[in-house]
Structures are given as structure tokens and as C-alpha cells.
Structure 1
Amino acid sequence: MPLSPDQAAEITAQRAQTTPTRRVTSPGMEERLYTAHPVLDHGFVRVIDYMGDDAAICQAARVSYGKGTKSVSNDEGLIRYLMRHWHSTPFEMCEIKLHVKLPVFVARQWIRHRTANVNEYSARYSILDREFYIPAPDALAAQSTVNNQGRGELLEGEEAARVLEMLKSDAMRAYDHYEAMLSTEGQKGLARELARMNLPANIYTQWYWKVDLHNLFHFLRLRADVHAQYEIRVYAETICEIVADWVPAAFKAFEDYRMGGVNLSATALDCIRRMLKGEEVTQENSGMSKGEWREFEGVLGG
């Protein structure tokens, strides 16, 4: 259960409050504020605060680039120009603060994006809840035979059942020992900062994560990609839905130029030019390695 009844009631109370303001607001984001969007079995993402909108991006761009933007007839066109030409600074004028509940092993992937401000729930001061991520059966897969950091075929039958049982029993046993070490009944009890070391990587943690839109787009480009690990990808996909309501023009440009676009090397671009001229181009005469050629064929749909 992502939220307790008390937490749900607190969010309802927050959403019932309204305050007059002179600052720019985004109608789509105002509807999202404080709402917890469920992710995985016990996780969620919710917006705590935000700054800016599509217009704020354009305002900053026109200050930064002056007369160079006068040929752009509208804000959406300007935003697409900025995205297309990798002018990232104006997107940094928008910020978002998220409250995220996620498994520790997902958090360790997430924290590699070092361009945000993070404050995590501290197990030195507080006791973690007995909540663990247990994959759904359709998320249990064998190691990929072609990708050292990916998944292959689904586990089935007795093997899948055995793996799920081990995940559940190991997590519960570790938490039982965690509670036993913390207990002060008939003993001193181990310090929380030490007892936490026994907990598994699938236990849930929480943090506040504040990031500007430019760096958020970089996070989403990598983590919402089909090749990203499923458990972090579903968080990224949820954030994509939120961002689409917050800055619709910027997100549309991001989808088009970053998520839906590709970067080609000079060699790959030369191969395309040769193909357009009618030349037969193969891996052997392309100047690419086998790996590069395979990826190039994937881009072309070959």
C-alpha cells in the first residue's frame, strides 16, 4: 500500500488549501500538486512544489539570446528551436520538487544523476517500514544472453515460484532480525545506524528530489528509454506524464527531438548520403564496427 490512511488524509487536506499568488502557475501542474501517483507495489511519485512554465523558458531565452530570437514567431516555435539546437540554459529556469518512494536498489541507480538536490529518509534516526519490492511474475526474467546488464526470457513455473518465495522470505527474515537487533527488551539494542546494514536492497526508502527541467529531461531521456531497467523506467514514465501537464510545449519538443530522435555519427551520416545516391553500403564498406553497424541498422529499421 503506497499510502497509509493518515498520509492520504494529509494529502487531501493539502490539496484543499488555496493561496492567492502573483507568481506564474501551470494549470496542469496545479492539478498534480501533492497527489501520490502509485508506482510498483509500494512506491509513488508526487509533486511537492514547482517553479516556472513554458512561458518562463521563453522569457529566459529572450533575455539570454536577445535579438537572435526575433525570427521565432511564437513560444512553441522558440522552445522547439532551443531544443533542436541544444540551448539548454532556458530550460534550467523551471524547477520541480518531487517526493518519491522507491526501492533502495532503484535509488542507487537514480542517485547517479548528480545534478539534483536530494534529501533522503534517514535510517540513522528513524526505523524503516516493513515494505519490500517484490516483482510481479511478468517482471521475473533470466539474464540476457546479448546484454550484460539486461533481461532475457521470463522465468516460468516452479523456477519463478521458487525465486519469488526466496525474495519474500529473505526480505522478511532480514526485517525480523532488524527488529530483533533494535529491540531494547532485555538488551541494550543495536544502534539504528548499524542495524540498517542488515536490510536488503529491495526495502523501500523515500526522498525529496529537486531538479531543473534541463537535467530532468536528461534523466528522462535515459530512464524512460525502453532499454532502461523496468523498475526505474516506470518511475520515469510516471514523471513524464507529470511533466507533460506542467510544460506541454517543452515536453512535446523533448519527445520529438530527444526521445523520438537519434544522434548520428559523421560516419553514419556519410553512409546515409551514399545510400541516397543509390550506392550499396554494407558493414564491410561502411567504416563501422559490427556493433556500430548493428545499431545503425536498428535506427534505419533494417
Structure 2
Amino acid sequence: MPLNPDQLAEIQDLRSSPKQTVRAVSEGMEKHLYHAIDVLDHGFVRVIDYMGDDAAICQAARVSYGKGTKSVQNDEGLIRYLMRHWHSTPFEMCEIKLHVKLPVFVARQWIRHRTANVNEYSARYSILDREFYIPAPEHVNAQSVVNNQGRGEVLEGEEAARVLEILKADSNRAYDNYEAMISEEGQLGLARELARMNLPSNIYTQWYWKVDLHNLLHFLRLRADPHAQYEIRVYADAICQVVADWVPAAYKAFEDYRLGAVTMSAQMMVALRGLLKGEEVTAESCGMSAREWREFQDMIDA
């Protein structure tokens, strides 16, 4: 179960006691507050708090008080201009605090984004639950033959069953030993901060993650990309749902100028201009490597 009974009771209590405020609120975000979006087999993402909305981005860009006399249409145009020209500071005026439950190996990828405030559940003080990420059969893949950090074909039949059984057995065996080291009858037991080192990286952890919108969108641009690892991409997809309701104008601009856009090198632009003129273009004539040429072809063939 992604949320335990205590967390469910806390959420119910918070949602049953709404607070009045004079600060700006996002109606789209209000419906997400405290609700958990299930991710993977035991994980979730839920909004704990937020600050700002689309108007806050424009307010910061204009350095004005309140909404001023600008129309919503003008605000959307300004936000698109800011996104299109890679202005960052106005987007930093919005912040979000998330509660995330995720496998440790996903957390190790996630924490590489060092532009957030993080407080993680401590296995030095508490005992971790027996919850492990076990991929669904359709996400058990072989190693890619063209990408050293990617996946290839889906494993099937006996091979898939063999791998899944190993994952389950090893996870439970490690947790059995974790419990035994901590609380073996008649012995003092090993300190929790040492016993945890025997646990596998597919065990679940939790953290609070607070980040401004600019850095959040950078995270989403990388982790919601189709090339990102599936297990972190599904978390990014869940967060995208929240951001789209929180700051709809900013998210639409983000979709158009980041998620749905591509970045071309100078050599790629030479190749593209040549193709548009009907010229014969090759990787060698444009000074591109074989891999860059493949990436260029993927861009124009998509």
C-alpha cells in the first residue's frame, strides 16, 4: 500500500480543515493538495505545499504590484516569451513541496538534481518497511545494443520469469537478514545505521522535496523525456500532471518550447538548410559523427 494508515489519517485531517488565506492561490493546485498519485508498485507523489501561480511569474518579470492592468492574454504571451528566450528568474518565484515515495536507486538518480531542498526518511533512526520495487513483466528488458545506459528488447517467457524470481528472492532474503541483524533474540543486535547497508537498492525510501518552478521544469525536461529511465520517468509524468494544473500557461509554454522541442548543433543547422535547398547532405559533408547524424535523422524524421 503506497500510503500507510497514519499518513491517510493525516491527509484526511488536513483536508477536512481548510484554512482561509489572503495570498494568491492556484485553483488547479488546490485539488492536488495532500492527494497522493500512485507511482510504480508502492510509490507515490503528493503535494504538501506550494507558492505562486502564473500571475506570480508575470509579476516578477514586470516587478509590479498585484496583477496590474495586464490581461490574461498578455500574461500568457509574456510567459511564452520568457520560456522561449530562456529567462529563468521569474519562474523561480513559484515553489512546490512534494512528498515522494520511491525506490532507492531512483532516488540516487533524482538527487543528482542538486537545486532543491531535500529531507529523506532516515534508516539510522527508523526501520525501513519490507517494500521493494519489482518491475512489471513488460518492463523487464535486456541491455540495449546501441546505448550503454539504455534498455533493449523485453524479456519473455522463462527468461523473464527467471529474472523476476531472482529479484524477488534476493530482496526478501536481504530484508530477512536485515531484520535478523537488528533484533536477533538473545543478542544486542546490530545498529540500524549499519544494518541498512545490507539492503538492496530497490527498497523504498521517502522524502520531502522542495524546489522552485525553474529548476523543477529543468528536472522534468530531462526526466519526462522518452529516453529517460522508465522508473524515474513515471514520477516525472505524475509531477507533470500537477504542474499543468498549477501553472497552466507556464506548463503549456514548457511543452511547446522544451518537451516538444529539439536543440540542434551548428552542424545540424547546416545540414537542415542544405536539405531544404534540395542539396545532397551527408554526415561527412556537415562534420557530424555517426551518432550525431543518427540523432539528426531522428529529429527530422519524427
Normalising to structure 1: TM-score of the pair? Answer: 0.95
What amino acid is the match of 2:45?
V
Tell me the percent identity: 78
Normalising to structure 2: TM-score of the pair? Answer: 0.95
Report the equivalent of 1:196. Answer: 196
C-alpha separation in 1, matches of 2:4 and 2:150: 34
Q: CA RMSD in A?
A: 1.4
Moved more, 26-35 or 275-284: 275-284
SS of the counterpart of 1:74?
A: helix
C-alpha separation in 2, matches of 1:104 and 1:79: 36
Displacement, 1:285?
1.4
SS of the counterpart of 1:56?
A: helix
Displacement, 1:154?
0.8
Is 1:51 aligned to residue 51 of structure 2? Answer: yes
CA deviation string 1:226-280 (max 9, x = no partner)? 0000000000000000000000000000000000011111221122222222222
What amino acid is the match of 2:210?
K
Report the equivalent of 1:107. Answer: 107
CA deviation string 1:47-80 (max 9, x = no partner)? 000000000000000129xxxxx9x960000000
C-alpha separation in 2, matches of 1:63 and 1:269: 37
Report the equivalent of 1:280. Answer: 280
C-alpha separation in 1, matches of 2:179 and 2:254: 46
Q: How does 1:18-57 map to 2 (within 5 A)?
A: 18-57=18-57
CA deviation string 1:144-192 (max 9, x = no partner)? 0001001101111111111111111111111111111110630011100
SS of the counterpart of 1:101?
A: strand
Report the equivalent of 1:214. Answer: 214
Is 1:259 aligned to residue 259 of structure 2? Answer: yes
Report the equivalent of 1:159. Answer: 159
Report the equivalent of 1:5. Answer: 5
C-alpha separation in 1, matches of 2:146 and 2:252: 33
C-alpha separation in 1, matches of 2:272 and 2:160: 45
Number of matched pairs: 296
Report the equivalent of 1:67. Answer: none
SS of the counterpart of 1:82?
A: helix
What amino acid is the match of 2:153?
E
Report the equivalent of 1:296. Answer: 296
C-alpha separation in 2, matches of 1:104 and 1:272: 43
Q: Where does structure 2 lack aligned partners over 5 or more consecutive residues?
A: 65-69
Moved more, 280-289 or 142-151: 280-289
CA deviation string 1:204-244 (max 9, x = no partner)? 00000000000000100000000000000000000000000
Report the equivalent of 2:67. Answer: none
SS of the counterpart of 1:32?
A: coil
C-alpha separation in 2, matches of 1:73 and 1:174: 57
SS of the counterpart of 2:31?
A: helix
C-alpha separation in 1, matches of 2:257 and 2:19: 37
Q: How does 1:38-117 map to 2 (within 5 A)?
A: 38-63=38-63, 74-117=74-117
What amino acid is the match of 2:15?
R
Moved more, 23-32 or 274-283: 274-283
C-alpha separation in 1, matches of 2:41 and 2:62: 44
